[in-house]
Amino acid sequence: MKYKVEYKDLGIRDYKEIWDYQTEIFDKLVCSKKADNTGIVPGGERLPGVLIFVEHPHVYTLGKSGSEDNLMLDYIQLKAKDASFYRIDRGGDITYHGPGQIVGYPIFDLDAINVGLKEYIYRIEEAIIRTIAESGLTASRFEGGTGVWLDPGIAGKARKICAIGVRASRYVTMHGFAFNVNTNLEYFNYINPCGFTDKGVTSLEKELGVKQNFESVKDRVKKYLEDIFDLEIINQ
């Protein structure tokens, strides 16, 4: 049976606003499982998952295991760059979100999909890898880390195109992925992305040499997530 998911394309929205919104949905799904761990609410229906696509104004986020030493800007410099900073409750280290980047927040009940957290992350990576392949590029995973990379095994050439960081409780997920499409990569110069000091960051626009049709790329990512997770998208 397909997993029902509400799809919400929220355009450009403030990071804290969407973090709070995610948390509200996440808490509701977790609470629905506390009594009997099924996620079935009175009336016999399972609460649907939610898939959020959004762009954020310039913001740096630091995961719970990350180090603030990986941010090379102080408060005044952040303001000068029109950027904000949040320490948040996902895994991973520091990353950047900004315009031209597809940020995806799948709030899914993994019990309903019948996958573990490792497989869940693998499937998100696979959706991005397949999306990138449609542009004629070969992307892959990096052994020992999450996300999607180009040339991950070549010293001095490895560059990340999509970061992934999640939080899970009772097999309900939140946070997600950040896929660089037409992203201003200058903002990555002020951090050690995901804690790495010897690897680069890239985007579809940089690799292909031309600005991408953002909505078209977004549609492809959504399609592959729908296929790979066997979703039934509702309330579009």
Residue 212 confidence (pLDDT): 97
Quick check: 173 and 49 in contact, CB under 8 A? no
- Give bridge partners of residue 97 from the DSSP assignment: 59
Please tell me the total count of domains within the chain. Answer: 1
Residue 36 confidence (pLDDT): 59
**pLDDT tens, residue order, the chain (236 aa):** 899 999 999 999 999 999 999 999 999 999 988 765 555 555 557 789 999 999 999 999 988 776 777 777 776 777 778 888 888 888 777 889 999 999 999 999 999 999 999 999 999 999 999 999 999 999 999 887 789 999 988 888 999 999 999 999 999 999 999 999 999 999 998 877 555 555 789 999 999 999 999 999 999 999 999 999 999 999 75
Predicted TM-score (pTM) of this structure: 0.90
Round to whole Å and give the CA distance between 23 and 230. Answer: 24
Residue 194 confidence (pLDDT): 52
Round to whole Å and give the CA distance between 196 and 107. Answer: 27
Q: List residues with catalytic annotation.
A: 194
Residue 196 confidence (pLDDT): 56
Round to whole Å and give the CA distance between 12 and 39. Answer: 31
Residue 86 confidence (pLDDT): 84
Range of the structural domain that residue 79 is part of: 3-234
Residue 75 confidence (pLDDT): 66
Residue 158's domain is classified under what CATH number?
3.30.930.10
| DSSP per-residue letters across the chain | -PEEEEEEEEEE--HHHHHHHHHHHHHHHHHHHHTTSS-EETTTEEPPEEEEEEE-SSEEEE-TT--GGGB---HHHHHHTT-EEEE-SSSSSEEEE-TTEEEEEEE-BHHHHT--HHHHHHHHHHHHHHHHHTTT---B--TTS-SEEESTTSTTT-EEEEEEEEEEETTEEEEEEEEESS--GGGGGGB-GGG-SS-EE--HHHHHTS---HHHHHHHHHHHHHHHHTEEEE--
Residue 14 confidence (pLDDT): 96
